[in-house]
Structure 1
Amino acid sequence: MRFKIISLVAVAMLATACSSKPEQTATATTGGTAAPAPAAPAKPSGPVPGSAEDFIVNVGDRVFFGFDKFDLTPEATATLDRQAAWLKQYKAVTITIEGHADERGTREYNLALGERRANSVKNYLTALGVEAARVQTISYGKERPQVVGSNEAAWTQNRRGVTVIN
Structure 2
Amino acid sequence: MKKIAFILVSLLVAACSSTHKADTAAAPQAAPQAAPQTAASPAPVSATPAELAASKLAAELQGLEKESVYFDFDKYAVKPEYQDAIRKQANFIKEHKNDVVTLEGNADERGSEKYNLALGNRRAAAVLKSLERLGVPASQIRTVSFGKDHPRLACHEEKCWKENRRVDFEHKLN
TM-score (norm 2): 0.67
Given that 1:61 and 1:164 are in contact with CA atoms closer than 8 Å, whether structure 2 keeps it comes out as no
- The answer (yes or no) to whether the contact 1:50–1:90 under 8 Å persists in 2 is no
The question of 1:89 aligning with 2:95 is answered yes
> What is the aligned counterpart of 2:116 among 81, 87, 110?
110
**Distance in 2 between residues matched to 1:40 and 1:80, nearest whole Å:** 36
Structure 2 residue matching 1:104: 3-state secondary structure = coil
**In structure 2, what is the equivalent of residue 77 of structure 1?**
83
Q: Which residue of 2 aligns with 1:119?
A: 125
Structure 2 Cα separation of the partners of residues 113 and 93 of structure 1: 26
CA RMSD of aligned residues (A): 2.7
Q: What residue in structure 2 maps to residue 49 of structure 1?
A: 56
Matches within 5 A, 1:9-158: 25=21, 40-41=45-46, 48-51=55-58, 53-57=59-63, 61-158=67-164
Q: 1:54 to 1:24 in 2, by over 3 A?
A: closer
Distance verdict in 2 for CA 1:39–1:151, change over 3 Å: closer
Q: What's the CA shift for 1:26?
A: 9.0
Per-residue displacement from partner, 1:37-84 (whole Å, max 9, x unpaired)? Answer: x85327989x83333x41342685311000000001112212101111
Q: Measure, in 2, the Cα distance between the counterparts of 1:85 and 1:64.
A: 20
Hey, what does 1:34 align to over in structure 2? none
Number of residue-to-residue matches in the alignment? 132
Give the whole-Å Cα distance in 1 for the aligned partners of 2:95 and 2:55. Answer: 14
* Aligned mates of 2:46, 2:147 — CA distance in 1: 46
Distance change in 2, residues 1:24/1:130 (3 Å): closer
- Show structure 2 runs of 5+ residues with no match: 1-18, 24-42
